[in-house]
Chain A
Amino acid sequence: MRRHGSRRSRRPLFVFAASLSLGLSALAAGSARADEAPVKMGFVTFLTGPAAAPFGIPDHNAAELLVDELNAGKVPAPYDKAGLGGAKIEPKFVDESGSAADVVTQYRNLVERDHVDVVVGYVSSGSCLAVTPVAEELKQLTVLDICGTPRIFEEKPRHYVFRVNPHATMDNVAAVKYVLGKFKNLSVYSGINQNYAWGQDSWRDFKQAMKDLDPAATIDKELWPKLFAGEYGAEISTLLTSNAQIIHSSFYDGDLESFVYQAAARGLPQRIPLVLTAGESSLWRFGAKLPDGAIIGARGPHTFFAHESELNTWFRRTYVDRFKEAPIYPAYDFAQSLFGLKTAWEKAQAKKGGARPTNDEVIAAFEGISFPTPSTTVHMALGSGHQGITDTAYGTYKFDKVTSKPTVVDIVRYAAECVNPPAGIDSVAWLEGGMKGAKCE
């Protein structure tokens, strides 16, 4: 006969839980006590979940590749010094999946438990926004990687947080310019974007830029499928009944592929050209399945749009050799982040006569610098020198039937100061104000 609610039956639970807690705390704390020489770097990206395929894997691949090549000193100039100024990089990878609470907890673990020197990463804008104030509070040098929201440096000035990759405003400004270059008097357009911050922000920027540059254009259909919905039959039907001349979409990877396959099967992209602001990431998988004529962006001058340079050739070659596939824009984004950090680090080190710089010295050196990357040159021009800008480019898709390779033709480049807001004004305000201050040729 079991006695109900007897204290005896609960004691084993207490003992178990207590010992488990102690054991786990010890285990958790015992991980990674570093010696001083290497640079401990926390890399945070999506290792699991649906964002792993489009972002996490290329991010992680680029990280592994660059850490190994940098540590071996095999990167071409000006990055030929081993590691960061001679100190080897010791990476620690953390999964970005989970709630905001999980992301913040893992960030605190990296900083307060594992004592990393720098944190690099974060794909989701939500993660970036959650982690930034914590970085400032803990005075931890952090380089945000792929997230696109302009809010990071526009809401508050930041001291410890940097972002080398430009934010997402320039993607859609350049998209509008390219579209208007091809469709001289665009009158109707539609959009299909994922119903979450990224999709909403992209569409908002595209609409506003269109209003600035072609006020006569009207919107026919605005579609908002759920993120990772996967099934777009109803949306495609709606677009088939649309009289739009182009369809804007900020879809990426999985959703983009599903949409394109389903749409192409029903003749939509052949009828109405798609404008895919993040389309580059899927071009290698589309092959002939994406009809020619789609307008493609790469969130920067990456892959097809990258400027020729020894660094670019080296990066592509080593990446393909190691991973048997071409690097897509998230990999380029990561390279930019790491090379920016390296430039700042070594500049601070040179100022100190070769001694290892403190984080504060790296920060001082990081602000406002310019440096080459496999794609282009980055200028840390916004957010008081904490936010980078680059030029960008758009092109039109054409599948080369002879070589069976995807290519992009009719490439148009846009200077950094033309498609990014000038220093001192918020992106949204800049767009609403007619993009005053933009310097285009």
Chain B
Amino acid sequence: MIVARALIPGTLAFIAAAALAPALPAWLISLATVAFSNALVVLGLIILWRAGLVPFGQALFYAVGAYAVALIGRYTPVRDAFALIAAGALLACLVAFLVGFLLARYREIFFSMLSLAMSMILYGALVKTETLGSTDGFGVEPPTYLGYAPEGAMQHLVLFWVVLAFGAAAALLVFFYFRSIAGALAVPVRDSEIRLEFLGVSVNRLVHLNLMIAGTLAGIGGALAALAIEHVDPNMAYWTTSGGFVFVTILAGAGTIAGSFIGSFVFELLKSVAYDLLPGTWQIFLGAALLVTILFLPEGLGSLFVRLRRASPQSKGAAP
């Protein structure tokens, strides 16, 4: 009962967004499509976050998902969006599975740096691949949806609905994951691994699992982003892309599923306004907006960190 009630605001929000879409201006829909694709990556980030891990290399899976879509579209006649996204998700999951054997053994800053290293290695490989256009990247063909090939303005509307559907599904799955045992165990991983090990849980395996979920979500996000932007390039695997996801995560008052979507959307909107009003100084605007949010949204950010803060007093610091 409680669970069902908790789902209501989210469900309503998704339905409202889907219903309002045809009435909204095209540029806003395109912007929202990109934002919600990124929100999926952020969703994956939260899962690792709860376990006390901050990956700086989610761009690896994002790029894998995106390039899977683009490569299949380029070398095969397959155009179906769902097939492409599934391929991206599967490939990202596989990569997360393989990479996880190494990454799951690390914690804290080393986890972050190693995951960054992985994504930069993919970046380097993509830059060196001249047949794929190197840093210029290449284009993604417009997809079809189970046989339906939308024209003109419908293309973006349909993609938006598809992104919303994936977003809702992901949000729901993560919601239930958090309430599952595996999900609940994430918090103790951050607090005290040793105790968890004594309980008989293999922490490394848990981290590996979380990595795979986060990687798959990031891969789906990347696949959707590739369809939305209609272009892929190695920059999708670059560390600044990963950094962008991390910062949206924190900005959003992270840890809340709703926060992922709201935060991603607000961030894209902020960027657009910044580019529009201050073409030469949009970074100041963005930085100031970030600072203001941190300073004046202690509730949103604070509730997460009270929940997840390590029991050790070390993090409280010796602030005067």
Contacts and interface: CB of A to CB of B under 8 A. Distances in A.
So, do A and B actually touch in the complex, CB under 8 Å?
A: yes
A170 B262 CA distance: 49
Contacts of B299: 9-10, 12-13
B273 interface: yes
B139 A129 contact: yes
B289 to A, nearest CB: 9
Contacts of A196: 127, 134-135
Contacts of B30: 105, 108, 112
A24 B273 contact: yes
B256 interface: yes
A221 interface: no
A125 B223 CA distance: 23
A47 B269 CA distance: 20
Given A126-B137, A129-B137, A112 B27 contact: yes
Interface stretch (A93-101, A279-287, A376-384, A407-415): A93-101
A104 B229 contact: yes
Interface in A46-98: 47-48, 93-95, 98
B235 A99 contact: yes
A219 to B, nearest CB: 16
A16 B300 contact: yes
Given A126-B136, A126-B233, A4 B307 contact: yes
A204 interface: yes
Nearest to B276: A31
Contact of B306 (A4, A21, A47, A94): A4
A6 B29 CA distance: 32
B28 interface: yes
A113 B307 contact: no
A197 B129 CA distance: 10
A113 B30 CA distance: 11
A185 B133 CA distance: 33
B104 interface: no
B25 A101 contact: no
Which of A12, A13, A47 has the most chain B CB within a 10 Å cutoff? A13
A10 B133 CA distance: 45
B106 interface: no
A105 B134 contact: no
Nearest to B152: A137
Which of B231, B281, B282 has the most chain A CB within a 10 Å cutoff? B231
A167 to B, nearest CB: 12
Interface string A1-26: 01011100110111011001100110
B112 interface: no
**Which of under 10, 10 to 19, 20 to 34, or 35 or more describes the interface residues of B?**
35 or more
Contacts of B233: 100, 126, 130
B279 interface: yes
**Contact residues of B: prevailing secondary structure:** helix
Contact of B279 (A17, A25, A93): A93
Contacts of B269: 20-21, 24-25, 28
Interface string A194-218: 0111101000100000000000000
Contact of A112 (B26, B138, B276, B283): B26
A250 interface: no
A34 to B, nearest CB: 15
Contacts of B241: 99
A133 interface: yes
Nearest to A22: B269
B280 interface: yes
B231 A104 contact: yes
B141 to A, nearest CB: 9
Contact of A125 (B28, B136, B276, B307): B136
B197 interface: no
B271 interface: yes
A149 interface: yes
B222 to A, nearest CB: 11
Nearest to A112: B27
Contact of B300 (A10, A130, A204): A10
B199 to A, nearest CB: 22
Contact of A133 (B127, B139, B265): B139
A155 B231 CA distance: 14
Nearest to B234: A196
Interface string A126-155: 100110011001000000000001010001
B193 interface: no
Nearest to B231: A130
B229 A113 contact: no
A106 interface: yes
Contact of A151 (B127, B133, B276): B133
Given A21-B269, A100-B233, A112-B26, A16 B297 contact: yes
Given A2-B306, A14-B258, 10 more contacts: A9-B303, A13-B300, A25-B269, A48-B283, A100-B232, A105-B30, A126-B137, A129-B137, A130-B233, A197-B133
4 closest A-B pairs by CB: A13-B300, A130-B231, A112-B27, A196-B135
24 contacts: A2-B303, A4-B303, A5-B307, A9-B302, A10-B300, A13-B259, A13-B297, A21-B269, A28-B269, A28-B273, A28-B276, A47-B279, A48-B282, A48-B283, A95-B279, A102-B275, A104-B231, A105-B30, A105-B268, A105-B272, A113-B27, A133-B139, A195-B128, A197-B134
Interface of A: 2, 4-6, 9-10, 12-14, 16-17, 20-21, 24-25, 27-29, 31, 47-48, 93-95, 98-102, 104-106, 108-109, 111-113, 125-126, 129-130, 133-134, 137, 149, 151, 155, 195-198, 200, 204, 227
Interface of B: 25-28, 30-31, 34, 127-128, 130, 133-139, 155, 225, 228-233, 235-236, 240-241, 253, 256, 258-259, 262-263, 265-266, 268-273, 275-277, 279-283, 297, 299-300, 302-303, 306-307
